[in-house]
Amino acid sequence: MASLSIDLIRKLADRHPKASHLRFQYGTAGFRTLGSILDSVMFRVGVLAALRSKRFDGKTIGVMVTASHNPEHDNGVKLVDPRGEMLEASWENHATVLANAPTTDAFIECLEILVKNLRIDLSKPSRVVYGRDTRPTGAALVASLEDGLRAIGAEGRNAGITTTPILHYLVRAINTKGTKDEYGEDSEEGYMKKLSTAFKKLVAGKPASEPLIVDCANGVGTQAVAEISQYLGDTLQLLPYNTAASSTGALNNACGADFVKTTQKLPPSLHGVLKPGQRGCSFDGDADRIIYFYLDERGHFCMLDGDKIAALVAAFIVELVKSAGLENKIKVGIVQTAYANGGSTKYLASRLPVKCVATGVKHLHHAAEHYDVGVYFEANGHGTVLFSPDTLHIFQTHQPSTPAQSTGLNHLINLTQLINQTVGDALSDMLLVEVVLAHKSYSGAEWDSLYVDLPNRLVKVVVPDRSIFKTEDAERRLVSPPGLQSKIDDLRRRYEAGRAFVRPSGTEDVVRVYAEAQFRPQADELAYRVAGLVYDEVGGDPSKRPNEFM
Ligand code: 16G
Ligand code: MG
């Protein structure tokens, strides 16, 4: 029976000691904090990823070093499971325990317990593929991660600087290589080829769309956009902006999907660039989120967020399923979170089954797996479409009885190739949106008019201890602190189409308040009044109480 190489682990672990005052938590998006304090965490994540691979008989596990839309000085790391999905929840705890072991000895002791309890067969091989975004702290953190892999004797494959969704793609492609479910060639080039080939088939015969402005958030999306452009040729012209991926301080700064979604504004760098009627989109720092926008004829900024993308894409897929003659066999469903705009939920729920789940990609992804075709999007622009194995089988075996059915079916099959089904993917989602717009001949304004967004406002309240805030009903209601929910309900009822909820953030030390109402001033007022209730509840400093003039 093989055992851990304790001496080697000790020697390497001693090079990455944990600072005693730090505490780490594997949260919704993995470990995420200042890049400068993550060294010990990276080493330990390397060890854990290597063990997880052994647990799966040597299947490849992914590790992505990124802090997504956070400021440049932050960094983070998350693990990717063999099918290209987020790490299974029970292992999030193991990651947290390992990361917080105070000394090398304590760390080794935790490892031994883990190996024993999880019955990890150490004689199995171990393979890990890893990548990072463009953050300045990335290279050193990857070196620490590599020490962790070395400590277990894992075989590492460095995917270099790449997007989060490409790393997810690689994991699935590596693990399905040579099987009947082969996901694609296991290289970045394979990914580019797969997406662009499907895109070209889907838009064949359609007039070329107007060039699309792409805000790359000064991040790793820059290189992905440049690469895909080579493959797309003149089928879609991309005009990349915010491409200063190596300039200090530029990443996600006044640009990118998170900036656009939270400020509901055009990045200042695109003022004067985006012309009325023209479409643009913003990626986030690791290119797994996308938000579209356009200027109306009066030059007003209009945002097309994850909810609008879900509505556009779901309607298109439903149409194709019908035209392929499969409407009795395949049901399309939607997954949203409480942040979905009430306008979108109303529009979608009158047409399709809609499920609301807690914030965080893993919740949406798992819920979407229960549909034949599951469309999931967070309002913040993270989302994708999942086709169940049975659905894929139906696509492969269905015999169309008319040329129109055959066209519908082919489009569906090409969509399964275009869409990155492992995780939300800005590049793949962008191509998906462009396909639908080309098929429908929609302008941004026509797409936007599918339904009207209710005005909404997001406010964050800094509290001493966010763990006292507990929710139920997919985070739409508070159960603790007691009594607060009924005060929120009393307020909300006074506003036309008023809706508000409060939840603790999974990524920051704050409580988030969301409110929407029929009219803009009321949505703002409701948000600030609910934030005020939260603030009073925790006995905050009255001078820092949120108010509508903030
Ligand atoms: C993370 C989640 C994202 C969620 C956000 C909420 C993943 C990969 N990312 O970024 O889905 O919307 O957290 O943040 O799961 P919050 O809990 O701070 O509001
Ligand atoms: Mg991201």
pLDDT in tens, 71-126: 999 999 999 999 999 999 999 999 999 999 999 999 999 999 999 999 999 999 99
Query: pLDDT of 204-230, one tens digit each?
Result: 999 988 999 999 999 999 999 999 999
Instruction: Look at residue 550 and tell me whether its pLDDT is greater than 60.
Output: no
Is residue 68 annotated as a catalytic residue, yes or no?
yes
CA distances from 349 to 275, 330, 336, 380, 435 (A): 34, 17, 11, 20, 24
pLDDT at position 432 over 60: yes
- Which residue range(s) make up the domain with 239? 189-303
What residue type is assigned to position 469 of the chain?
F
Same domain, 529 and 433: no
Q: Is residue 266 part of a domain?
A: yes
Give the chain's domain count: 4
Of all atoms in ligand 1, which is nearest to the CA of residue 69? 10
The reported pLDDT for the residue numbered 1 is 60
Among 288, 382, 423, residue to substitute to test ligand 1 (most atoms within 8 Å of Cβ): 382
pLDDT at 545 over 90: no
Q: Which atom of ligand 1 is found nearest the CA of 512?
A: 19
Dihedral over Cα of 521, 526, 532, 534: its sign: negative
CB-CB contact of 367 with 378 (8 Å): no
The reported pTM is: 0.96
Residue 439 burial (CB count, 10 A) = 15
Quickly tell me which residue has 């994991």 as its tokens.
171
pLDDT of residue 549: 39
- Mean pLDDT of the region 388-410: 97
What is the bridge-based pairing of β-strands 290-295 and 301-304? antiparallel
53: domain CATH number is 3.40.120.10
What's the pLDDT score for residue 481? Answer: 96
Segment 144-160 shows an average pLDDT of 98
Q: What is the pLDDT of residue 337?
A: 98
Q: What is the pLDDT of residues 175-195, one digit of tens each?
A: 999 999 999 999 999 999 999
Distance 540 CA to ligand 2 centre (A): 32
Residue 491 CA from chain centroid, whole number: 33
- Regarding whether 311 and 357 lie in a shared domain, the answer is yes
Q: Of 448, 465, 493, which one is at a domain's C-terminal end?
A: 448
Please give the average per-residue pLDDT across 123-133, as a whole number.
98
Choosing from 257, 276, 303, the residue where a domain stops is: 303
Position 547 scores a pLDDT of: 59
- 546 pLDDT higher than 80: no
* Residue 506: predicted pLDDT: 86
Binding residues for substrate: 378-380, 503-507, 512
End-to-end CA distance of the chain: 63
The per-residue pLDDT for 508 is 80
Protein residues whose CB sits closer than 6 Å to any atom of ligand 1: 28-29, 359-361, 378, 380, 382, 505-508, 512
Measure the CA–CA gap between 146 and 155, rounded to whole angstroms.
Answer: 10
User: Do both 30 and 87 map to the same domain?
Assistant: yes
Could you tell me if 412 and 464 lie in one domain?
A: no
